Structure formats: structure tokens, C-alpha cells
A = this chain, B = another copy of it.
Amino acid sequence: MSQLDQAFAALADPTRRGIVVHLARNEASVSDLVGLFSLTQPTISSHLKVLESAGLISRSRQAQSRPCKLETVQLKAVTDWLENVQEIWEGNYKRLDALLVELKQTQK
């Protein structure tokens, strides 16, 4: 599975998107996040593993706690893919517009 596959798949889960939104505001430990979502600690840990291996978050170490923070580089890679598609699509319309202009000229 490519990094992009993993990132999109990671973001397909509402709990994981919730974690991402939270981490966009503040770094947080596993237990902080457990408090936020009504899911067990192993479940949250598993979601964090998914986000981490997708490159969307990273974790450091601070005593017994493992603070998580957002990795915006990978988030940007996802946005870039989407914007690329958007540009291709818009490019089509530009070509179509150009074609219409050309046709009008021909008709004159």
C-alpha cells in the first residue's frame, strides 16, 4: 500500500479525522484522546498506529506519555494530489473555452 493509499484510508475513518482535527489545535497524549472519544485505549492506540504509519502524525516520548503531533507534510501530499486533479479538470475547461473562441472566429 502506497503512502497516499494509506493517508486516504486513514482519513476515511471519522474517529481518525477527529484525532487529526484535535491534533491540529494541540498536541495530545493517548489518554487525552481516549478521554475525547468514547472508545477504549487499545482502540485509540490502534487508530494512532494507522495515522502514524500513514505519515500523518508522529509521536515523541515524554516520561510515560507519548505525545502525538500532526505531520503536515503528509497532509499536504494529500491536498496536492487533489489539487492536481482539480487543475487537470480546469485545464480541460480552458482548452474547451479556447476551442469555443476559435469556433466563433471561424464563423465570422
Which chain A residues numbered 28 to 86 have a C-beta less than 8 Å away from chain B? 70, 72, 75-76, 78-79, 81-83, 85-86
Closest B residue by C-beta to A82 = B79
- Sorting the interface of chain A by its residue count into under 10, 10 to 19, 20 to 34 or 35 or more gives 20 to 34
Q: How many copies does the complex hold?
A: 2
* Residues in chain B near residue A92, CB distance under 8 A: 24-26
B88 and A82 contacting across the interface, CB-CB below 8 Å:
no
* Residues in chain B near residue A79, CB distance under 8 A: 79, 82-83, 86
A24 and B72 contacting across the interface, CB-CB below 8 Å:
no
Some 5 contacts from A to B, beta carbons below 8 A apart, are A70-B89, A75-B85, A78-B82, A79-B79, A79-B82
